[in-house]
Amino acid sequence: MEKIVIRGGASLKGEVEASGAKNAVLPLMCVALLTSDEMTFHRVPALRDIRTTKQLLLQLGVRLDDFTPGTLRIKACEITDHTAPYELVKTMRASVLALGPLMAREGRADVSLPGGCAIGARPIDQHLKGLEAMGAEIQLDKGYVIARADRLRATDFTFDLKTVTGTENLIMAASLAKGTTVLRNCAVEPEVGELIHVLNRMGAAIEGAGTETLVIEGRDRLHGVVHEVMPDRIEVGSYLIAAAITGGDVTVTNSRPDHVSALLDKLQEVGLQVDVGEDSVRVRSNGPIAGRDVSTDPYPGFATDLQAQYMALMSLAQGTSVIRENVFENRFMHVQELVRMGADIRVSGRAATVRGVRSLSGAHVQATDLRASASLVLAGLAAEGSTHIHRVYHLDRGYDRLDEKLRNLGADVTREKDDIV
């Protein structure tokens, strides 16, 4: 096991380039199952979740070529297995994204139920309801979803709630289904738009990208494409908050400012200087940070994946802020660890009240989930003394070369062997 050790106090300065988006690559790796042609993706980040998905694709009989760093070639000539096993799905819920493509191309899939995780129950009832509406027979057996269909057929389906991977699964399923499918109340996250863009380049016929209603004309086959993955908006937001919390001046390049506009509005509101370029964002400290409330919502609202990072910033703000988590029912696992560093935070239901303190103190803390770990890194960057973040594998799921990128911005960060856990 490894840990990250941060000696706080440095103001981050300089430029950092955003990596490709984890939550775009994961569905795109599964969309490769929809064609027997080769798919080539560039700007693929080196993340644990990407490695897990490669394992899943190999398990299904897919051929991979990842010898060039940042480039991934996938060729699903034929699918020789139809199981997404528990040992893979339990480590990464997004494995469920194999369900739609397997049903569309093969008419069968045995996918382990993801089970809950640190941030909530995270059921997949919407994914299953949508596939049943498309004619799939779904059974649950020994913790697995057993899905069968002769050929998926078009449907007019309305999601009961906004679900990102639920929307992505059904878009992929409908792309090869017979007839014209209408999906309503869809998630409109940029990663969903990226998936639609790639599918249309593969020969799919999907209208309504960026809106909650999608019309999908099923095709008999799709062809391979070459695609450069969009920048990771959550990584971009995390580095911008790192600049804010350390009183620094950081420019994130190769990014999509329009994908983080809710965060940029909030950073300006709390008193930061924010400058937006065509594909870069610069955040500069501009005096004390004011406490300001935030509520997370599906896109284009404030991203739930940036809630923990924003809470770290509010821990050192002047005044009080209330942070409401409206997407997940248990996404405050970072609170106790921040409190151990001296933060003053009280949770009641889905709201956390943060009273800004003058300083945080470094401590030994434990990562619990990907974004909670990021908030502990940010707190450590600003804290007095050293912070040891244990179970750093949580961070490796979603941040490519985090310690290296932070060091390049002037942070005193090292990755060390962890003899505690």
Active site residues: 117
Q: What is the CA radius of gyration of the chain?
A: 21
Site string for ligand EPZ, 245-264 (x = CB under 6 A): --------------------
Q: Which of residues 50-79 bind ligand EPZ (CB under 6 A)?
A: none
Q: Pick between residue 164 and residue 377 the one whose CB is nearest to ligand EPZ.
A: 164
Of positions 65, 78, 125, 258, contacts ligand EPZ by CB under 6 A:
125
According to DSSP, the residues that pair with 84 across neighbouring strands are: 111
Q: Which residue has the tokens 């994914």?
A: 127
> Cβ distance 131 to 173 under 8 Å?
yes
Ordered DSSP codes for 210-278: TSS-EEEE--S-----EEEPPB-HHHHHHHHHHHHHTT-EEEEES--GGGGHHHHHHHHHTT-EEEE-S
Sole window of 64-72, 102-110, 157-165, 284-292 interacting with ligand EPZ (rule: CB under 6 A): 157-165
Q: Which two tokens stand for residue 43?
A: 């700007």
> Cβ distance 84 to 95 under 8 Å?
yes
Alpha-carbon distances, residue 262 vs 276, 302, 383 (angstroms): 13, 5, 26
Residue 69: asked if its preceding bond is cis (omega within 30°), the reply is no
Residues 132-144 as b/e (b if ≥16 CB within 10 A, e otherwise) read ebbbbebeeeeeb
Widest CA span in the chain:
63
Q: How far apart are CA 260 and CA 44, in angstroms?
A: 20
* 296 makes contact with ligand EPZ (CB under 6 A): no
> Cβ distance 308 to 331 under 8 Å?
yes
Angle at alpha carbon of residue 154, lines to 149 and 158, rounded to 5°: 105
* 304 makes contact with ligand EPZ (CB under 6 A): yes
The minimum distance between CB 335 and ligand EPZ, in angstroms, equals: 17
The minimum distance between CB 161 and ligand EPZ, in angstroms, equals: 5
Q: Pick between residue 166 and residue 218 the one whose CB is nearest to ligand EPZ.
A: 166
Q: Which residue has the tokens 């490894």?
A: 2
* 115 makes contact with ligand EPZ (CB under 6 A): no
The minimum distance between CB 276 and ligand EPZ, in angstroms, equals: 23
Of positions 8, 20, 45, 166, contacts ligand EPZ by CB under 6 A:
166
Q: Pick between residue 24 and residue 272 the one whose CB is nearest to ligand EPZ.
A: 24
The site that binds ligand EPZ (CB under 6 A) totals a number of residues, namely 27
Q: Which of residues 380-409 bind ligand EPZ (CB under 6 A)?
A: 398
* 305 makes contact with ligand EPZ (CB under 6 A): yes
Q: Pick between residue 5 and residue 147 the one whose CB is nearest to ligand EPZ.
A: 147
* 370 makes contact with ligand EPZ (CB under 6 A): yes
The minimum distance between CB 119 and ligand EPZ, in angstroms, equals: 6
Q: Pick between residue 251 and residue 309 the one whose CB is nearest to ligand EPZ.
A: 309
* 99 makes contact with ligand EPZ (CB under 6 A): no
Enumerate binding residues for ligand EPZ (CB under 6 A).
Answer: 22-23, 26, 93-94, 120-127, 161, 163-166, 187, 191, 304-305, 327-328, 370-371, 398
